[in-house]
Structure 1
Amino acid sequence: MTYVVIENCISCKYTDCVEVCPVDCFYEGENMLVIHPDECIDCGVCEPECPADAIRPDTEPAMEKWVEFNRKYSEAWPVILSKKDPMPGYEEKDGQEGKLENDFSEAPGEGG
């Protein structure tokens, strides 16, 4: 099992999860985070830290696409090691549907 970041993170990008991760397996895009599925040790400490409910175990239904999504972008984006402020306007975006199609950016974040 591994954990993955799903659409709920897009345009919110809370980083509370990064501070509790013991293996530094989070990677930062311009407007979301992802988890490298091969680096995640399945400890689950990140899941309850996410205010957007964007971290899920890969054992939930229909998570295969998110495992591959997280793998793809974790190999392209820089690792993030410290907590940052959420994105501007995150209050309005939190819980919105259709963010993958309408808001997702493939651009890397700053990392760090």
Structure 2
Amino acid sequence: MTYVIAQPCVDLLDKACIEECPVDCIYEGKRMLYIHPDECVDCGACEPVCPVEAIFYEDDTPDQWKDFYKANVEFFDDLGSPGGASKVGKIDKDHPIVSALPPQAQEA
């Protein structure tokens, strides 16, 4: 099991979760952040600091965002496991589920 970042993160990229993650497993794509399922240690430090409540334990992901588990896993298909997001920096892509979304309005 792992944590999943879902649609509320799209176009927000707050990054408070990155600062809290003790294992550096939260990677930045073009429009949202992704948790590497093989690097996440299920500590849960990221979940309470997310300002838009976009992070869920895999089994607790709301039904409307269940596809984001797949997006978080498949985002790393060609990247593999680099052993930390800080080694890679921002990744110039998103999963097709994210890329297909219209721009997400953010509250002012």
Q: TM-score, normalised by structure 2?
A: 0.68
Name stretches of at least 5 consecutive residues in structure 2 with no aligned partner: 87-98
Distance 1:74 1:17 in 2: 19
Decide which of 62, 65, 71 is 2:73's aligned counterpart.
71
Matched residue type, 2:53: D
Name stretches of at least 5 consecutive residues in structure 1 with no aligned partner: 82-98, 105-112
Distance 1:100 1:51 in 2: 23
Tell me what 1:43 maps to.
43
| Aligned-pair CA distance for 1:64 | 4.9
| Aligned-pair CA distance for 1:34 | 0.5
Identity %: 41
| Aligned-pair CA distance for 1:39 | 1.1
Distance 2:17 2:78 in 1: 20
C-alpha RMSD of matched pairs (Å)? 2.5
| Aligned-pair CA distance for 1:37 | 1.1
Question: Higher relative CO (CA 8 A, sep ≥ 6), structure 1 or 2?
Answer: 1
Matched residue type, 1:56: F
1:59 has 2:59 as partner = yes
Q: TM-score, normalised by structure 1?
A: 0.65
| CA deviation string 1:32-89 (max 9, x = no partner) | 10001111110000000110111111012546522221012234578644xxxxxxxx
Tell me what 1:20 maps to.
20
